[in-house]
Amino acid sequence: MKLYRLLTGPDDASFCHKVTAAVNKGWHIYGSPTYAFNSATGVMQCGQAVVKDVDGVDYEPGIKLSDY
User: Does residue 25 form part of some domain?
Assistant: yes
Q: Chain-wide mean pLDDT for the chain?
A: 95
User: Does residue 64 form part of some domain?
Assistant: no
User: Does residue 13 form part of some domain?
Assistant: yes
* pLDDT tens for each residue of 23-51: 999 999 999 999 999 999 999 999 999 99
User: Does residue 9 form part of some domain?
Assistant: yes
User: Does residue 30 form part of some domain?
Assistant: yes
Question: What's the domain count of the chain?
Answer: 1
**Bridge partner list, 46:** 9, 35
pLDDT at 67 over 90: no
Q: Cα–Cα distance between 67 and 46 in angstroms, integer?
A: 22
User: Does residue 15 form part of some domain?
Assistant: yes
User: Does residue 63 form part of some domain?
Assistant: no
- Are 38 and 49 spatial neighbours (Cβ–Cβ below 8 Å)? no
